[in-house]
Structure 1
């Protein structure tokens, strides 16, 4: 930690989901550093005539051709190298795909010179271990943190969106797994997955899926939605009239939002939702659902 940060003189970096050009370049350079760890997927046999030896190296051409098919929106320059796009309006999701490709596929290697004195060429031995993935993940997440990006590369090699609410959502996920109703459990899992997706468009669909789960939750006990919801609210309130009123009002308000806003319904008279509201709506609804599922079948 540097002096200004350590002593509180540095302003907190504003969190963002926009990968600026400096961060883009740092992330590309990090991937480049680990490229030879993909040699087992892209091996190329070479022959060194002076030493009359064959050896394995990284096949850059095969690598680039594969990327063109796998991540077609990834910018590749005229020299056939993955590079920082020249235009400002670049596709940052392609970069996220690129990072995930490395995170999920790199393997440990051992690199040695053929001769410690003359160093004519290097041997690349591909190992069966994956320890290098932890180093790669740490470096990528460090760049995300330095750039103030709301992303995290997880241990399974996926990039997820993170914010202050995500730790709370992670806790709710543990309760979701215990829900004894497959349809509700599936809707909640899909909503959480979309909420953590780094694509900004996914937040809209996360809210839509969550409201679907909310409506299904209200029929957990009975096809009669009002009776079923009332039974759940009674259970949540635990005979406390004050909280009975609070939870009843919250169920009513969230139902009203779902009916009047363009979440589950898309008629012309529905109220449009600003992109800035999706986090708030998701967090408000998941908070109520997270509490409610603790009281199911009680």
Structure 2
């Protein structure tokens, strides 16, 4: 299946992926696509209806498929329709579908029973399914996509996506690298609580970074790290940025949860703190 090329994207550029909740049309389109694949027997390999004159698959046992969906996605209502599904249920249904689909091909006409014997190609199904899902999400400006493992992940804003994509830690400190990798994975979660944990992991990594040059004294370790920066003209700027991060950590709930502090970040506070006021 070739990518659709829309005129609006060519002349105006793609729309920003800035919607945390699925638009109604997007949700209906995603669920409608799955219903269409059910009718086209993309789930027949996992839920087969067998031909009476042999062991060949000729269709889908839809009742078994729907019973399995309802068992694994509690609360989902039938018939499947986006109008009475939440975003979470829609995402669960997409991930369920990815795990169970195979593309059918007609290989033999059973004229007596008025059906076809089917064969299946799972690899092609996964590629086409993911491509279609991501196209619908992109056109709906949804801040989500399906990754190559069939998971729905939050992609974040374009600048953050680029930073996260390029975040390949190789600091030489295994614990620091693991914290950064964990933060990168958690940031992609569609659960805001998991994204909060990602921020906390990243902050833990930042605090550990300050001690790499001197494990016994965070301030000396920070100063030693700054002195390694080249060219020297950047050292003052990095020190100012680290002071600003310290202020953010003190003002917002990142790792500490004092009463009266907001949980989510607003634009960072500028500070004139001295170079050694990093903690």
TM range, smaller chain: 0.7 to 0.9
Question: How many matched pairs?
Answer: 258
Q: Is the CA contact 1:113–1:119 (under 8 Å) kept in the aligned structure 2? A: no
Say whether residues 1:144 and 2:137 are aligned partners: yes
Q: Is the CA contact 2:15–2:141 (under 8 Å) kept in the aligned structure 1? A: no
Q: Is the CA contact 2:82–2:90 (under 8 Å) kept in the aligned structure 1? A: no
> Residues 139-288 of structure 1 correspond to what in structure 2 (within 5 A)?
139-162=132-155, 163-164=157-158, 165-172=160-167, 174=168, 176=169, 178-223=170-215, 224-235=217-228, 237-238=229-230, 240=232, 242-269=233-260, 271-274=261-264, 277=265
Cα deviation digits, residues 90-134 of structure 1 (max 9, x gap): 531221122122234423432345346x6712222234x512211
2:65 aligns with 63
Q: Is the CA contact 1:104–1:156 (under 8 Å) kept in the aligned structure 2? A: no
> Residues 115-154 of structure 1 correspond to what in structure 2 (within 5 A)?
115=110, 120-127=114-121, 129-154=122-147
Q: Is the CA contact 1:113–1:120 (under 8 Å) kept in the aligned structure 2? A: no
Structure 1 gaps of 5+ residues are 282-298
**Superposed displacement of residue 21, structure 1:** 1.6
**Superposed displacement of residue 2, structure 1:** 5.8
C-alpha distance in 1 between matches for 2:110 and 2:49: 20
Q: Could you say if the C-alpha distance between residues 253 and 20 of structure 1 is closer, same or farther in structure 2, counting changes exceeding 3 Å?
A: same
1:285 aligns with none
**Superposed displacement of residue 216, structure 1:** 1.6
C-alpha distance in 2 between matches for 1:2 and 1:133: 23
2:43 aligns with 38
Structure 2 gaps of 5+ residues are 269-279
Cα deviation digits, residues 26-82 of structure 1 (max 9, x gap): 1012222333333232223352xxxx5564232222222222232224x222xxx32
Q: Could you say if the C-alpha distance between residues 4 and 251 of structure 1 is closer, same or farther in structure 2, counting changes exceeding 3 Å?
A: closer
C-alpha distance in 2 between matches for 1:258 and 1:251: 10
C-alpha distance in 2 between matches for 1:167 and 1:3: 25
Bigger shift: residues 135-144 or 199-208: 199-208
Q: Could you say if the C-alpha distance between residues 60 and 272 of structure 1 is closer, same or farther in structure 2, counting changes exceeding 3 Å?
A: same
**Superposed displacement of residue 239, structure 1:** 5.3
Q: TM-score, normalised by structure 2?
A: 0.80
C-alpha distance in 2 between matches for 1:17 and 1:63: 30
Q: Is the CA contact 1:112–1:122 (under 8 Å) kept in the aligned structure 2? A: yes
